[in-house]
Amino acid sequence: MTTLNVRDAAGRVAGPTAAADSASTGPVLTAIARTVVALGRALLIAVPVLLVSTFITFMLGGLTEQDPASLVLGDSATPADVARMREVFGLDKPLLLRYLLWLWSALHGDLGSSWFSKIPVAQSIAERLPVSLSVAVGALLIAVVLGCVFGILAAVRQGGWLDRTVTVVTSVLATVPGFIAAIALITVFSLLVPVLPSGGWVPPSAGLWKWASFLLLPSVSLSLDAAADVARQLRTGMADTLHENYIVGAQVRGLPGWRIVLVHALRNGAGPAVAVLGMHVPRLIGGAVIVETVFALPGIGDLTKTAALGGDVPVVQGALLVTIGVVLISSALVNVLLVKLRPAARREI
Amino acid sequence: MKTITGALRTRAGVIAATVLAVVLLLAVIGPLLAPYDPLKNSTEILQPPSAAHWFGTDYLGRDVLSRVLAGAPRSVFTAFEAVGIGLVIGVAPGITSVYLGRVYEWITLRVMDGLIALPFLIFAIAVAALLGNAVHQAMIAVGILLAPSFYRITRAAALNHANAQYVTASQLFGASMWWVLRTHVWSKILPTLVVATANATAGGLLIVSSLTFLGIGVVPPEPTWGGIVASDLSYLTQVPYGPVFPSLFIMATVGALNLLADAIRDTSGDYGRARILRRGASRVRLT
């Protein structure tokens, strides 16, 4: 098993942890240093990942059979016009050079412009990113709350009716595609009991309550999958932890039950749940396209879908780059959280 | 063989296998069973379920049962296609990454990390749309995105056995790397792979239904389970139960696959019995 760990770590960025060096500077500094190092490492790992994934997305534009120049100019364009247009778009250069140029300007915040509307891609994304992010963050919060409440309750009352219900509901939720959950929520909360809007979007400046009411159904339908997974993992993790000797020890010492569960057991039993939550983060951002379609939200998934169907390559590339960036940053944050939660998990980063 | 019989001895395994058998049968002969022409419009629009139309009719008066049956092959087999591609791309690098040296290992790890970072649905939509909105392009994209999970699972399983004593022993006897892979490692990782494949097929079905729901990879009049739900969406106020029937087919298939995966995982036990399980395992992958 030792060899296994070494081999596993071989591909990652290896190096001495600063935590060990700063051990003498006091516990608080050590904790901060550890977090910074973990964050730095996670971001360092993200760089090659970002390069690979953006290269893949860029190749997409190169592989597409649509010729933007003739698409924009229409059928009546002469070959000379098309050739000039290709030059304007920079399509006369080799693909690899185009990728490097695109990456270079992307690093400076310039993602090019839409082939059709000529609107800068960065501007379209800046308009739509807040919508997607607020739905994703809302979904994340709901997933954590629902997952924790039901996971912990099921673990504490193992074998009880609540435990069995949670098991059944989470297994059923795993079979429901996101769009069906969204439609079911609309049917119940907008048609049968009309209390929430069935779709659309208002900015927070129009009133926080109004904003939240438009946000609630999309967030809930996006969160169900993650909530079910978190509840299941938390139940398993906590159920194991609650049988540990130190839990019995804490009970013998006369600590209140809620304290044992929420402080002692949760900290050690939450590892798998946090890891699963980390795996769900890309889905909360990438899966938002379904929710955005059903609820008619002007988000980044909707932008990508429309642009892709219209063959607007720069918009697709820019939107995918931003989405990947958000995914990588949030994964790094989850990894750091995992380290904070369980120092033993440090090795796995 | 023993994987299957073992899983079939549990009640969950029997239920899962029965549901899957029915779904597969529908996927093969479903279009022939359709009582009406699934593309033919009629004046009887948005009818509730009745003896003539078991699942009712949609907004163009088309029989929903016929559309569900006619859409079965496209909804089910496309998921198999994606999983097949994912298996091919993921498994081979997963096993070989343990044996072909550090550089190769590093490159495959980074490529798979890069693939994992791609937001699943959005990327599949982008690929499918930019490469000419057809179902096979969409499935190639989904297959590529499924590859990292197969890569990780096979790699983890292969790592477990790479340094086992009997592997070292056969290497000392002069066995070639390929022989070791074929005889020792491959049979050990098969049960894990079967479970992963069943789960991935369930995931693939969900993604395919989401894509067809969005209208990616299908031409409109052609029915798919996801597409039928989408066409009902604008008429929720008149027929709030509209999406129920196609949804039930999706959920039953996905649920049965997950149930089968659990049953196989519970009954196949440790890797040590894997050799006996080999033939049965490859049979599961075909279903």
**Does residue A66 carry a pLDDT above 50?**
yes
The sign of the CA dihedral B229, B234, B235, B240 is: positive
Q: With bands split at pLDDT 50, 70 and 90, how would you rate the model's confidence at A175?
A: confident
Interchain contact, B233 vs A324, CB within 8 Å: no
**Closest CB to A179 among B163, B213, B240:** B213
Mutate to test the interface with A, among B15, B102, B121 (most CBs of A within 10 A): B121
Contacts of residue A330, defined as CB under 8 A and 6 or more positions apart, other chains included, come to: A281, A282, A285
Please give the pLDDT value at position A23.
Answer: 45
Would the CB atoms of B251 and A313 count as touching at under 8 Å?
A: no
- Residue A266: C-alpha distances to residues A32, A86, A94, A152 (Å): 22, 59, 55, 8
Say how far residue B90 (Cα) sits from the centre of its chain. 14
State the amino acid at position B283 in one-letter form.
R
Q: What is the pLDDT of residue B269?
A: 55
How close, in Å, is residue B243 to chain A by CA atoms?
A: 8
Whole-model pTM over 0.80: no
Name the β-bridge partners of A113.
A120
Output the pLDDT for position A349: 34
pLDDT higher than 50, residue A17: no
Coil vs helix vs strand at B57: strand
Q: Which two tokens stand for residue B14?
A: 């029997």
Closest partner residue to B105 (CB to CB) among A10, A63, A64 is: A10
Q: Where are the alpha helices (DSSP H) in chain B?
A: 2-8, 11-33, 64-96, 102-117, 120-130, 135-162, 165-172, 177-180, 186-213, 225-232, 244-268, 274-286
Above 60 in pLDDT, residue B115?
A: yes
**Cβ within 8 Å, pair B247-A180:** yes
Say whether pLDDT at A284 is over 70.
yes
pLDDT of residue B272: 34
- Of A46-50, A62-66, B36-40, the one with minimum mean pLDDT is A62-66
Q: CB–CB of A281/A81 below 8 Å?
A: no
Judged by CB atoms closer than 8 Å, whether chains meet at A179 and B229 is answered as: yes
A69-82, pLDDT tens digit by residue? 666 666 666 777 77
Tell me the pLDDT band of B33, cut-offs 50, 70 and 90: confident
Asked if A304 contacts A289 with a C-beta cutoff of 8 angstroms, the reply is yes
pLDDT reading at B109 higher than 90: no
Minimum CA–CA partner of A328 in chain B: B117
Minimal Cβ distance to A308: which of B117, B129, B247? B129
Segment among A6-20, A134-148, A215-229, B196-210 with least mean pLDDT: A6-20
Domain boundaries, chain B: 2-286
pLDDT given for residue A94 in this prediction: 76
Average pLDDT along chain B:
79
pLDDT reading at B273 higher than 70: no
Q: Binning pLDDT at 50, 70 and 90, where does residue B283 land?
A: very low
Residue B35 reports pLDDT greater than 90: no
Task: Classify domain B2-286 by CATH number.
Answer: 1.10.3720.10
In 3D, which of B287, B272, B284 has the Cα closest to residue B193?
Answer: B284
Among the residue ranges A248-262, B27-41, B265-279, the one predicted with the least confidence is: B265-279
Token pair listed for B208: 């395919």
Window 83-142 of B, Cβ < 8 Å to A: 98, 102, 105-106, 109-111, 113-123, 125-133
What HEC string does A178-189 produce? HHHHHHHHHHHH
* pLDDT: which is higher, B60 or B258: B258
B79-94 tens-digit pLDDT? 899 999 999 999 888 8
Among A138-152, B43-57, B128-142, B147-161, the range with the most confident prediction by mean pLDDT is A138-152
**Nearest CB neighbour to B210, from listed A7, A63, A178:** A178
Burial class (CB in 10 A: 0-12, 13-18, 19+), B183: middle
Contact: A178, B122; criterion CB under 8 Å: no
B residues 179-208 closer than 8 Å to A (CB): 202, 206
Residue A347 DSSP one-character state: G
Q: How far apart are CA B123 and CA A279, in angstroms?
A: 17
Contact with chain A for residue B223, Cβ under 8 A: no
Q: Look at A183 and B132 and tell me if their CB atoms are within 8 Å.
A: no
pLDDT value, residue A69: 66
Average confidence (pLDDT) over B11-16: 85
pLDDT in tens, B178-193: 888 888 778 777 878 8
- In this complex, do A180 and B233 lie within 8 Å of one another by their Cβ atoms? no
Give yes or no for A5 touching B (CB within 8 A).
no
Cβ atoms of A101 and A90 closer than 8 Å: yes
**Residue of chain A nearest B130, judged by CA positions:** A64
Min Cα–Cα distance to chain A from B30, Å: 22
pLDDT cut 90: percent of chain A above it: 3
Of B159, B143, B144, B177, the residue nearest B94 (C-alpha): B159
Of B285 and A182, which is predicted with more confidence?
A182
Residue B147 in contact with partner chain A when CB distance is under 8 A: no
According to the model, what pLDDT value does residue A172 have? 85
| Residues A290/B210, Cβ–Cβ less than 8 Å | yes
pLDDT at A13 exceeding the cut of 70? no
How would residue A197 be classed by pLDDT, with cut points 50, 70 and 90? confident
Q: Looking at residue A296, what DSSP letter applies?
A: T
Residue A7 pLDDT more than 60? Answer: no
- What six digits make up the tokens of B188? 């050990």
Residue with tokens 């509901």: A169
ipTM: 0.76
Q: What percent of chain A has a predicted confidence (pLDDT) above 70?
A: 83
Alpha-carbon distance of A49 to A46, in angstroms, equals 5
- By Cβ distance, the residue of B117, B159, B236 closest to A328 is B117
Partner residue facing B119 (CB), from A8, A172, A324: A324
Contact A60 B130 (CB under 8 A): yes
**Distance from the A78 Cα atom to the nearest Cα atom in chain B, whole angstroms:** 24
